[in-house]
Amino acid sequence: MFQLIYFQSKEDKNYLYGMDLNENIFKIKKIMGLLSEQESSQYENNLNFCKTTYSESLFQEAINYHKNWILSPQFKEKIKKNNGWDDVTSNQKIKEWVSFLSEIELKYIPTFQEFEALLPQHDLSHIAAQAFVRRQEPKKVYINCFNPKQNQKTLKRGGIKSILIHEIQHCLDNITRANSKESINKSLNNTDTEIDVKVRGNKNIKKLSQQLGISSSQFNKISTNLSNLVNSSGFNDQYACSDKETMARISGMREYYGLTNPSQKIEIKFFKDLFLKIKDLDIKKYLKRKITDFNLSWIESDMLFILLCWAKNGFQDFEIMINQFNDLAKQKNPNQNQNQV
């Protein structure tokens, strides 16, 4: 049974608009002033955590990061070449993306009840995520605030703005995509002349160990740990190798490592510290759920998925994969005097 609610303001009405009231008891209680003192205090604490950690000013910095990237001449040249667009079409698409970015909003979720109401009951996969974007609401980035202790533990390790960069990329992917699904998947699973996957993998692992200055014996342990994770029952290859997730991870990495325009490149060395952490992981304890935290920063967790997909695809040439990631950011620009948008 639904009770008639008199809204005090337009803001109150928007607070509940379009949602199942049975799933939003917490919101109704808040509007009607029926929260207990403990509930109200917890709500405000969670909300203040989010507003402080994921501030509107930081969110605007993340929006501007994407705008500056899109407005760079290298980006324009890349989309022209990749999509076969002329100047008029390219300029129009860039204006659409920049306008779209200005419309993206930051939304806080202070309680689990509100989180549960946003997603189908059978899909609570975002519960451990700091932030997410709903497909049906491509102009909103939602921030989980109802588990501040867990969030603080992760966020102490760095990369808050990169989280926002990652999620804004998901918003952009809901309109015309600058990089095709095929081009991203090709970078994740490129092939070379070696037919035997195991031989190819061993060759590529040896090459990478030399490039990073990590001994062969250490890198064998790294590849074994990655393979064990990939072969575990909990591994989700569709998520690890998702083209949209990969593009969002690349965007977050670029910001985290100070790459401000498409002429700057992701480098193999960015992964060295993560590889060494993977070497020291106790995979057996993790798979038996005796440990649940790899003590990775948020950006390292994102990069780990790239490495898991790399392992799943047979340890392709890592250098080629990274170079193709960089090709997603730009194409060489032969005309430095081209018009800028």
Would you say residue 23 has pLDDT above 50?
A: no
User: pLDDT tens digits for 48-75?
Assistant: 888 888 899 999 999 999 999 999 988 8
CA distance 44 to 26: 13
pLDDT at residue number 14: 36
Q: Ranked by mean pLDDT, which of 104-118, 292-306, 313-327 comes out on top?
A: 313-327
Amino acid present at 123: D
For the segment 29-53, the average pLDDT, to the nearest whole number, is: 71
Whether the pLDDT of residue 207 is over 90: the answer is: yes
Q: Identify which has the larger pLDDT, 32 or 298.
A: 298
Name the 3-class secondary structure at 61.
Answer: helix
Average pLDDT rounded to a whole number, residues 173-178: 75
Report phi then psi at 142, rounded to 5: -95, 140
Contact 76, 94 (CB under 8 A): yes
* 334 burial via Cβ count (<10 Å: 0-12, 13-18, 19+): exposed
pLDDT value at residue 64 = 96
Cβ-proximal residues to 73 (8 Å cutoff; 6+ apart), any chain: 333, 336, 338, 340
High-pLDDT (> 70) share of the chain, %: 70
Instruction: Using CB atoms within 10 Å of the CB of residue 119, give its burial: 0 to 12 exposed, 13 to 18 middle, 19+ buried.
Output: middle
Q: How far apart are the C-alpha atoms of 257 and 254, rounded to whole Å?
A: 5
What pLDDT score does 148 carry?
62
Range of lowest pLDDT (78-92, 218-232, 243-257, 302-316): 78-92
Most confidently modeled range among 145-154, 171-180, 276-285, 316-325: 316-325
The rounded distance, in Å, linking the Cα atoms of 179 and 173 is: 9
Q: Report the C-alpha gap between 119 and 231 in whole angstroms.
A: 29
Higher pLDDT, 149 or 216: 216
Average the pLDDT over each of 93-102, 228-237, 288-297 and give the range with the smallest value.
288-297
Q: Nearest CA to 284 among 334, 231, 214?
A: 231
Report the alpha-carbon distance of residue 195 to residue 243 in Å, rounded.
Answer: 25
* Predicted confidence band of residue 15 (pLDDT cuts 50, 70, 90): very low
pLDDT of 334 strictly over 70: no
Question: 37 or 236: which carries more pLDDT confidence?
Answer: 236
Nearest CA among 195, 169, 177 for reference residue 302: 169
pLDDT at 212 over 50: yes
Q: Residues 80-118: pLDDT tens digits?
A: 877 788 999 999 999 999 999 999 999 998 877 777 777
pLDDT at 335: 35
**Choice among 29-33, 64-68, 253-257, 267-271 with the minimum mean pLDDT:** 29-33
